[in-house]
Structure 1
Amino acid sequence: MSASPFDHPFLSGLLGDEEIGLLFAAEADIGMMVLFERALAIVQAEAGVIPAEAGPEIDRLLADFVPGMDDLREGTARDGVVIPSLVQQLRKAVGEPHAAHVHFGATSQDVIDTSLALRLTSAAALLETRLKGLIEQLGELDTRDGQIETMGHTRMQAAIAVPASRKIASWRNPLVRHRERMADVVAGVRVLSFGGAVGTLEKLGEKGEIVSTMLADHFGLAAAVPPRHSERDGVAAFASWLSLVTGTLGKMGQDIALMAQSEMGEVKLAAGGGSSAMPHKVNPVGAETLVALARFNATLVSGMHQSLVHENERSGAAWTLEWMLLPQMVMATGAALRTAEALLRSVSFVEKR
């Protein structure tokens, strides 16, 4: 039994997203952290920060590293972050004479935030593909049903007749705008974190900026000098974008649920949820799920704005809050896009005679 609906034994059937979930699994997170440490050693060796032979040797010795999760769990409870215990395990795996060159000049936030940047980049690519497909799907629905007459409603009251195209446009157009602004939003999180203890790379001296640029190039991330340890605007903007996407899908779901009511009958659902007590019903489960996910993300985004408030050069509290909220928002957005695609496949506007 899980406290999260996204990986719950049966709620995940409604709200889960396996593709997105894999990116936020502990194995994926630790895997990216180890890649960071391996890449750091390679570029530092190339830049002459550590012995030339240390980089390739550290990379080789850590290629098949398997962490001890129980030790990481205990270490995180003690230290508030996983990196001290992880680095201890990595140094033990490397052994002498190169153990001391593992994690040289870096701090815990460098490793954790770079892992997040890499995984958010992958998640964003999945979301963009789904968003593009959904926009195309709505275009196809418009081509097929756009000229069917429906009743326009203002303030929940019947107004005047409008073509279905008007309804569909109110669902599709915001998604087009979300996709247009996506590149800028993702650029705000596709950023290397590398600054050392307080963002000054003091252990690397004059080679700090060189190593930072090389490391960013290695991962295909933007180099930020100084690093953005306590500047969380990019992450919060990404969270806000997620909430905008799910909010738009929630509006679509709400409209479809209302139009599919027996009394309205303006939309027919080819598939829906059954009732244990009333077998004649076809419940608009997908539409309702979109509304729930929209409200969920709208609730969490305020917490992400709270996580902007870091004390000085790093905040344990604000950073931890981000860990708790952001993965759930990405999961909710992935689930909403998946649900919307399935819902639209079952939607048909009904011609009134």
Structure 2
Amino acid sequence: MSASAFEGFLSTPQMLAVFGEEAIVQGMMDFEAALARAEAAVGLITPQAATAIAGVCRAELYDVPALVAASGRAGSLAIPLVKRLTETVALFDAQASQVVHWGGTSQDVIDTGMVLATRRALALIDDDLSALIAALLSLAAQHAATPVLGRTLMQPASVVSFGFKAACWAAPLVRSQQRLHAAAQRALQLQFGGAVGTLATLGEHGPAVAQHMAQQLRLPPWQGVWHTQRDDWVALGCEVGVLVGALAKFARDLSLMSQGEIGELAEPSGAGRGGSTALPHKRNPVSSMVALAAAQRVPHRVAALLGAMAQEHERGLGNWQAELAEWAGLFISAHGAVHALAEAAAGLQVHPQRMRAHIEALQGLVTAEACSTRLAAVIGKPEAQRLLEGLSRRVMDEGRHLRELVLEAVAADPRLEAGIEAGEIERLFDPDHATGAAAARTREQLARLQPLAAALAAARPFAEPASTIDDVQEMSA
């Protein structure tokens, strides 16, 4: 697929190739080869005709840019493609040329070609998603008890652990991968219905031809036409959109934690990565940038898919075509995001000392909740809350550490002095002690997520099957 200079670098060459003109045309040719062989298998055309047709269903034999150029006037890429295929078959077998595309329609060949491309696109996304999840879960395990500030509404809140944050980044990605596998199983179906979806041209042989085609193309058993029933297809697109949103959550946090003033994390560097034309010291978080750019663009594409669902009667006018135009861009953005973040996570630099320094710089204020909870056990929640609010204001006004003020307050109140030991207060202000709950939740998450992630990575439901064109002849022999 041709891409502008400002779009191509936000994706990957592999994904651009999946939706490139030659790849799409080859997918459509795979449909035509499967159709011919399936019709030969049920006796609708001769085996010789099927061989003649399938033998020239190779995109490299055709002027693909010319086919694409002709599609605008024709109203469909399938029309010039079938015309040129028919002419090419006629050069070798005039009789076989009479049965090219027999019983199919333009939408059948285009939709099925897009299904085959989407399967390859999902394979790329799935592999990188598995790598990203594995890297995040590894970070979660390594840093289950590494103290870091938890931040709410962009402000310091309480101490959590970096492992807890990493597990929280991974969890929605695991769920998204599960949903992608399930949605793709429903959506990646052969499109075959003929002119109005009834396969009337093929008579009683229609369903058998469809089943043979699905088998040859390594697709699930044919369930019927979906020319204007786009629910499963669009649902898959929506799941890709949700995945990009989950990736953007990680990218947003990563970019914030990588800011120079924060410096708790850093993306990998080297080989010109993240440099600046003006500032030699800069280390830009380019992986986060790619993912956040995808998150800006993908919602509009998903909205376009949803908007295109109101398709007229048995074949849509304009809406199906709009869907096709948006589909490739959705996957191009998604793979750019997941691939970039998988690279970043694999080489992510973690700076625990910076994390601890930011906790200490807040003079104990992030422990106010824990102190209030402990004091409330002695003097009740309302009084403890009021006391800690007052002490927190004094920290800001007097520049003192909250620990000192709490110890003074405990010593000044006989109830607190009798009910709380000084060592307890000291422990509350220990960042390592403060991560206890976060570390426990992290390990619980890991116990659940690690085996699930491993199973999803091993499944590889989109792995490219053996060459369709070369292998189907053996299958239909």
- Report the TM-score when normalising by structure 2: 0.69
Residues 241-282 of structure 1 deviation map (CA, whole Å, 9 limit, x = unaligned)? 111111111111111111122332322344262233332222
Show the counterpart of 1:230: 228
Q: 2 CA distance for matches of 1:258 and 1:148?
A: 18
Q: Is 1:43–2:44 an aligned residue pair?
A: no
Match of 2:214 among 210, 213, 216: 216
Q: What is the match of residue 201 of structure 2?
A: 203
CA apart distance, 1:192 = 0.3
Tell me, in whole angstroms, the C-alpha distance in 1 between the residues paired with 2:282 and 2:59.
Answer: 54
CA distance in 1: counterparts of 2:349 and 2:80, whole angstroms = 52
1:247 and 1:295 in contact (8 A); partners too: no
Asked whether the 8 Å contact 1:106–1:194 carries over to 2, the reply is yes
Shift of 1:334: 0.8
For the 8 Å contact 1:106–1:197, the answer to whether it is kept is yes
How do residues 1-353 of structure 1 correspond to structure 2 at under 5 angstroms?
A: 7-9=3-5, 12-13=8-9, 15-62=10-57, 66-69=61-64, 71-95=66-90, 96-271=94-269, 273-344=274-345, 345-351=347-353, 352-353=356-357
Partners of 2:203 and 2:312 lie apart in 1 by 26
**Alpha carbons of structure 1 residues 253 and 99: separation in structure 2 relative to 1, 3 Å:** same
- Runs of 4+ in structure 1 off by over 6 angstroms are none
What's the % identity of the aligned pairs?
Answer: 31
Q: Deviation of residue 231 (structure 1)?
A: 1.0
Contact 1:62–1:94 at 8 Å: present in 2 too?
no
Secondary structure of the 1:16 match is: coil
Q: Which stretch has the larger CA shift, 288-297 or 107-116?
A: 288-297
Query: Given the superposition, is the C-alpha separation of residues 63 and 74 from structure 1 closer, same or farther in structure 2, using an over 3 Å criterion?
Result: closer
- Cα distance in 2, alignment partners of residues 305 and 61 from structure 1: 37
Contact 1:246 1:290 (8 Å CA) reproduced = yes
Distance in 2 (CA, whole Å) between partners of 1:62 and 1:251 is: 44
Query: Highest CA radius of gyration, 1 or 2?
Result: 2
**Partner secondary structure for residue 115 of structure 1:** helix
**CA spacing shift, 1:149–1:121, aligned 2, 3 Å:** same
How far apart are 1:74 and its partner, in Å? 4.5
Count of paired positions: 348
Distance in 1 of aligned mates of 2:6 and 2:179: 35
CA distance in 2, matches of 1:80, 1:254: 42
- The one-letter amino acid paired with 1:42 is R
Instruction: Give 1:330 deviation, angstroms.
Output: 0.4
Higher-RCO chain (CA-CA 8 Å, sequence separation at least 6) = 2
Q: 1:320 is matched by which residue type in structure 2?
A: Q
Instruction: Show the counterpart of 2:400.
Output: none
| CA contact 1:268–1:350 (8 Å) conserved in 2 | no
Pair 99,260 (structure 1): closer, same or farther in 2 beyond 3 Å: same
Question: Is this contact kept in 2: 1:62–1:93, CA < 8 A?
Answer: no
Task: Quote the Cα distance in structure 2 between the aligned partners of 1:97 and 1:283.
Answer: 63
In structure 2, what is the Cα distance between the partners aligned to 1:214 and 1:63? 20
Provide the rounded CA distance (Å) in 1 between the counterparts of 2:206 and 2:65. 34
Letter of the structure 1 residue corresponding to residue 85 of structure 2: L
> Could you tell me whether the CA contact under 8 Å between 2:26 and 2:57 is conserved in 1?
no
The structure with the greater share of residues assigned to helix is: 2
If the length of structure 1 is used for normalisation, what is the TM-score? 0.92
Gap regions ≥5 residues in structure 1: none
CA contact (8 A) 1:151 1:161 kept: yes
